[in-house]
Amino acid sequence: MQVGAFAQVENAARLANRLNRDNLDAYYFLYKQGLYKVRFGNFPTRELAAREAEVLKAMGVIGPYYIVRPEEYAIAKRPYGDEPLFRDEIVRTARDFIGVPYQWGGSSAEQGFDCSGLAMAIYRLNGLNLPRTSDQQYGAGTSVSRGDLAKGDLVFFDTRGRGRISHVGIYAGQGQFIHAPRTGKTVRTSSLSDIYYKNRYIGARTYL
């Protein structure tokens, strides 16, 4: 389900958070330069999606909506067996977020960013139902060694020194990954060889 058309990222984040309070797994994304939209839900049929949307519309939670068809996702468009092409599409989607002040945990920058929300949004925009939290994402994937990393894999870090995962990024190839670093920062590309991330690297997971 796709709703909204916001010029201000804070407004898109606010709607996504409101929908998430109703357990609708919402996320926002940069639709076109300077315009943000929100998607939510994973409905088995178009009829169920429309029914839920009409209820939310009647409650005043959402306005006009668009039901995204399964065939519109990149995973449905790829030629059979063309995994590299699909991986490129995941990275292309991630690059579209670079420079965006990605806000997940709250309705303002002061309330924080969530790197795992960014990863979830990128995967779901391409048709893969990735879990929301970094712990769940780590548990859902298949382990891949650092030397075998491929575009679109997720890389995980312990940035808090507590012995558990606290950060995740999308591997973009050539030792680079795309992520939402922390409050006050925009989505950006960083290097796995950067001493900060090198010392905090936990592992990687693939989902293809």
pTM of the model: 0.81
pLDDT at 185: 78
Fold topology of 1-68: Alpha-Beta Plaits (3.30.70)
Instruction: Pick the closest to residue 37 from 8, 2, 62 (CA basis).
Output: 2
95-106 pLDDT, tens digit each: 988 988 776 554
Residue 74 predicted with pLDDT over 70: no
Catalytic residue among 65, 141, 167, 170: 167
pLDDT at 113: 43
Catalytic residue among 179, 192, 197, 204: 179
pLDDT at 13: 83
pLDDT at 105: 52
Q: Which residue has the higher pLDDT, 85 or 202?
A: 202
Tokens in use for 161? 């020194």
Catalytic annotation present for 15: no
pLDDT at 106: 41
Residue 49 predicted with pLDDT over 60: yes
Provide the phi-psi class of 79: left if phi over 0, else alpha when psi is between -120 and 50, else beta. Answer: beta
Residues 42-54 have a mean pLDDT of 88
Residue 108 predicted with pLDDT over 60: no
pLDDT at 44: 79
Matching CATH number, 82-208, of 3.10.20.30, 3.40.50.970, 3.90.1720.10, 3.60.40.10: 3.90.1720.10
The CATH 3.30.70.1070 portion of the chain extends over 1-68
Catalytic residue among 115, 172, 178, 180: 115
107 exposure class (CB count in 10 Å sphere: 0-12, 13-18, 19+):
middle
Q: Mean pLDDT in the chain?
A: 85
In this prediction, residue 78 has a pLDDT band, given cuts at 50, 70 and 90, of low
Kindly report the backbone phi and psi dihedral angles of residue 155, in degrees, each rounded to the nearest multiple of 5, phi listed first. Answer: -115, 140
Catalytic annotation present for 173: no
For residue 194, give the DSSP letter. Answer: S
Catalytic annotation present for 194: no
185-200 pLDDT, tens digit each: 789 999 999 999 999 9
133 exposure class (CB count in 10 Å sphere: 0-12, 13-18, 19+):
middle
pLDDT at 109: 36
The CATH 3.90.1720.10 portion of the chain extends over 82-208
The amino acid occupying position 207 is Y
Per the CB < 8 A criterion, the answer to whether 199 and 134 are in contact is no
Kindly report the backbone phi and psi dihedral angles of residue 96, in degrees, each rounded to the nearest multiple of 5, phi listed first. Answer: -65, -25
For residue 108, give the DSSP letter. Answer: S
pLDDT at 88: 93
The amino acid occupying position 134 is S
Residue 17 predicted with pLDDT over 90: no
